[in-house]
Structure 1
């Protein structure tokens, strides 16, 4: 399956608890960090929830 890279571009400070937990579930901890994940509908849904804080590098 295809891989996508996800980069955290905005801080989680002051964000909703659900959004902070989603960022944590994606494996992101620091601003500027990049993780590589499988391109699944579940991951895409998580990205859609916090799209204002992350950047997708395909």
Structure 2
């Protein structure tokens, strides 16, 4: 199964609660942390909803 590596690049301080909840849902909570997640439409949607806080570092097949 394909995976993507997501890195947190922004702080959730002074952001709406929904954006903080999205970060927690992705398994991120501190700057520069990375997570390898399955490449599904749900995960892609979460990443696209907070592009100012996370970035996709790598896509693995």
State the SS of the aligned residue for 1:22: helix
After the TM superposition, which segments of 4 or more aligned residues of structure 1 sit over 6 Å from their partners? none
**Which structure 2 segments of 5+ residues have no match?**
none
* RMSD between superposed Cα atoms in Å: 0.6
Q: How many pairs does the alignment contain? A: 58
Task: Using structure 2 for the length normalisation, give the TM-score.
Answer: 0.91
- Report what 2:6 is aligned to: 6
What TM-score, normalized by structure 1, do the two folds share? 0.96
Partner of 2:29: 29
> Which ranges of structure 1 fall in alignment gaps of 5 or more residues?
none
